Structure 1
C-alpha cells in the first residue's frame, strides 16, 4: 500500500472539516516506503488518527502529517494532554475529559480503532504530548517480510 497516496486522500477528505474548525492541515511525504496491509483498514486507521488531530484542536491550530519511510507522524497543536492520560485515549469510550456533553463530537473510539488496526498489521501506534500542547501520534510499520 502506498502511504503517501493514502495520506493525500485522507487529508483531502478531511480538508473541509479542518477548514470549518479553522485548523490548518498539511501533509508531506519523504521517501515513503510501501507497506503491506489491507488498503481499506489502513485508510480507516489514517482517517481516525488525522480526524482526531483535527477534532481535538483549537481554532487557528495546525495538524501536520509527515511520512518518512514506513513511519507516519501526525502532530497537532491542541490543548495540553498530560502524559499519564495518554494510555486511556487508546481505550474504547475514553476521552481526555469525562464530560460526555463537551462541544467536541466523538465517542472515544477513533484512537482505539486505529490502535486495533495498527496491531493487526504488526505496526506500532504511539502518542506523546506536545511541548506546547496537543499530541504527536506516531505509526511505525515493520519492514516487509
Structure 2
C-alpha cells in the first residue's frame, strides 16, 4: 500500500480490496497516478526498476518483493495500467485452511474475506 501512495499524484486515491474466489484468496490495490505504458509493466517487477514517469521516488524493489513473496506461497501477481493513470496490482493465493484456531485463514494467516479502503 505504501507504494500505491508513493507512486501517486497529489489528491490521488489508493484502495485495498480482499476477498475469496473459488480456491483463491486475493488482495487488490488500485491507485491513481502517472500513465503507464503496458509494455513497461513487466519491468516494474524486476529489482531496481522503476517506471519512466516515476523519477527517483524509490529504489524499485516493491513489486519485486511482492512477486517473490507471492511465488513463494504458490500464488500469482498481476499488474494492469488503469485508464487515465495509475496501476491495479492483484495478488491471488491458494486458499489454505488450517484446523484449530486459524481455521478460515490463508497460509499467511490473513482473513480470506472482507474489503477495505484507504485514502
Task: Determine which of 93, 97, 111 is the counterpart of 2:52.
Answer: 97
Shift of 1:138: 0.4
CA distance in 1, matches of 2:46, 2:57: 17
Residue-by-residue CA offset, 1:22-51 (whole Å, 9 max, x unaligned): xxxxxxxxxxxxxxxxxxxxxxxxxxxx11
CA distance in 2, matches of 1:90, 1:66: 21
Query: What is the count of residue pairs matched by the alignment?
Result: 93
Structure 2 counterpart of 1:106 = 58
CA RMSD of aligned residues (A): 1.7
1:58 has 2:14 as partner: no
CA distance in 2, matches of 1:144, 1:85: 33
Structure 1 counterpart of 2:72 = 120
Structure 2 counterpart of 1:75 = 30
CA distance in 2, matches of 1:110, 1:98: 16
Shift of 1:119: 0.5
Could you list the runs of 5+ residues in structure 2 that have no partner in the other structure? 98-119
1:132 has 2:84 as partner: yes
Moved over 4 A (4+): none
Q: Which has the higher contact order (CA 8 A, sep 6+)?
A: 2
TM-score in terms of structure 1 length: 0.60
Shift of 1:98: 8.1
Shift of 1:107: 0.7
TM-score in terms of structure 2 length: 0.73
Larger radius of gyration: 2
Structure 2 counterpart of 1:144 = 96
